[in-house]
Amino acid sequence: MLQLLEGEKELILACVDEVLKNNSKNREDLIPVLQKVQAKLGYLPALAMGKIAEGLQVPAADVYGLATFYNQFRLNPPGKHQVKVCLGTACYMVGGDITLESFERRMEIKEGETSPDRLYNLERVACVGCCSMAPVVVVDDVVEGKVTPTRVDGIMLALNEEVKKDEKEQKAERKEGEA
Ligand code: FES
């Protein structure tokens, strides 16, 4: 499980409190409550699910079961960069699974997870409608076609460069702010 960032615990607790305050405490409200908390936090942390279970007086296992049952809920925080690997039939037939494994190895996470530094998250998706370009990967909403493991290296290199550039810019901004 990913570590919470500094101040994130307080943020989660405040968010759940606010959502519960504005909802009836019925068990039937579980899905809308989960939806609202996810809309605010971008995902459903375990801490939030525990608090929701307490607030609605339902077993924590039921909350977790529901959150894992529906695709609309995500249990990991979104990464700064999102990589979606298509495993629809056309992509799978030409090595979509190998592309996915290549990303898993390079990111050191499994499909469905977010890297501990929250820079990347990796997902598998069904057909994205570009079968002629199979195997297809969607990187931050940009569609990449004919993705071989070598291309995976190129994509990761470009993403890492972008991360470094962002960090440099943020550092410069902080320095400017301090001056
Ligand atoms: S199966 Fe991958 S784009 Fe259609």
Per-residue pLDDT tens for 32-84? 999 999 999 999 999 999 999 999 999 999 999 999 999 899 999 999 999 99
Task: Check pocket membership of 159 for ligand 1, CB cut-off 6 A.
Answer: no
Ligand 1 atom closest to residue 130's alpha carbon, by position in its atom list? 3
Q: 132 CB contacts (<8 Å, ≥6 apart)?
A: 145
DSSP 104-125: HHHHTS-TT-B-TTSSEEEEEE
Q: What is the average pLDDT across 142-147? A: 97
Mean pLDDT score of the chain: 93
pLDDT of 71 reads 86
Nearest to 48 by CA among 58, 59, 60, 57: 60
Å from CA of 78 to ligand 1 middle: 23
Task: Check pocket membership of 30 for ligand 1, CB cut-off 6 A.
Answer: no
For the chain, what percent of residues have pLDDT higher than 90?
84
CA atoms of 13 and 37, how far apart (whole Å): 10
Joined together, the tokens standing for residue 155 give 């994509």
Nearest to 59 by CA among 30, 22, 88: 30
At residue 142 the predicted structure's pLDDT band, cuts being 50, 70 and 90, is very high
Task: Check pocket membership of 94 for ligand 1, CB cut-off 6 A.
Answer: no
Using the predicted structure, report yes or no on whether residue 27 has a pLDDT greater than 90: no
Q: What is the average pLDDT across 114-127? A: 94
For the chain, what percent of residues have pLDDT higher than 70?
99
Å from CA of 171 to ligand 1 middle: 40
> For a substitution probing ligand 1, which of 124, 131, 143, 144 has the most ligand atoms within 8 Å of its CB?
131
Ligand 1 atom closest to residue 86's alpha carbon, by position in its atom list? 2
Q: Are 69 and 59 in contact (CB under 8 A)?
A: no
At residue 95 the predicted structure's pLDDT band, cuts being 50, 70 and 90, is very high
Å from CA of 91 to ligand 1 middle: 5
pLDDT of 28 reads 87
